[in-house]
Structure 1
Amino acid sequence: MAPSRALIRRIAFTSTQPHMRPSPRLFSAFLCKPQKVPHRSHLQIRNTEFPASKCVRQYSSQASAAPEAPDYLNEAELHIFNKIKGELEPVKLEVQDISGGCGSMYAIEIESPRFQGLTVIKQHKLVNQVLKEEIAQWHGVQLRTKAA
């Protein structure tokens, strides 16, 4: 999570050397949880009080085992989403109708552990096998796959 602009301004104005811009490393220090924080200048805090080994990025988290379908998907996108989710057990899945709403072309992005050790062509063949009936009625598909 990036620091707010208000925090950036406060750091810049309370700095002991106002002509210097605070470094991005200083901002990351405010996201970390230090053991002790004595009152010191920003250079000492950046260099000694917040070692990288003590910092934990707040936005880092484990991906959920199964992605949930976003509420903005139409019926056709939801059907494709659920079919891929059931067969390939993805950790990341995005389905989008890129044909302007007529359902003739889709962009699909899948990240799944089932792709581990497979070439890109074999990954795409696996997805094509799952969506065989649907792909027969489409004009085209943009497929991006990745092993999780």
Structure 2
Amino acid sequence: MAPSRALLRRITSASVRPCVRPTARFVSTCAISSQCIRSRSSIHSGLSRRLRFPASCVRSYSQTASTAPEPPEYLNEKELHVFNKIKAELDPVKLEVQDVSGGCGSMYAIEVESPKFKGLTPIKQHKMVNEVLKEEIKGWHGVQLRTRAA
């Protein structure tokens, strides 16, 4: 939703200029005065299209996106085994494993996002995961698998 005109007037008249981030749906403030936003019209249109920002206006994060995910503490023993096996083989940037069978370990929902999937069709991505979990899948009733290239 685009900001109202009154909000635009308040933002541009403030001593701290806004820093519009193209991936966010909100206007945050930045101490950089004229470097982030050039005019009121760019605020309005900046929410719907990409803008280029100076390095001083971009938030730095403590972790990079390529770090391997850590297993959540709520995983049971079987979920943790599946999590660690996929993590070791596919180096995912995002990995979620959930027993959806009610705790008996016969069906899992797995979501994997890995750079190793780049350029592969979804079927080939699924085959890679199936190959990693070949022995485990033999004892399962089913698996819900979602994959994505990072």
- Counterpart in the other structure of 2:127: 125
Please state if 1:47 is matched with 2:46: no
- Counterpart in the other structure of 1:40: none
Amino acid at match of 1:56: V
- Counterpart in the other structure of 1:19: none
Amino acid at match of 2:97: V
Query: Is contact 1:95-1:109 (8 Å) kept?
Result: yes
Q: Could you say what the CA RMSD is over the residues aligned between the two structures, in angstroms?
A: 3.5
Amino acid at match of 1:82: N
TM-score norm. by structure 2 comes to: 0.66
- CA shift in 2, pair 1:99/1:63, >3 Å: same
TM-score norm. by structure 1 comes to: 0.67
Distance 1:137 1:118 in 2: 27
Structure 1 residue 59 displacement after superposition: 7.5
- Give the aligned length: 121
Query: Is contact 1:29-1:46 (8 Å) kept?
Result: no
Structure 1 unmatched runs, 5+: 1-11, 16-24, 37-44
Runs of 4+ with >6 A deviation: 58-61
- CA shift in 2, pair 1:139/1:145, >3 Å: same
Structure 1 residue 29 displacement after superposition: 3.7
- Report which of the two has the higher share of helix: 1
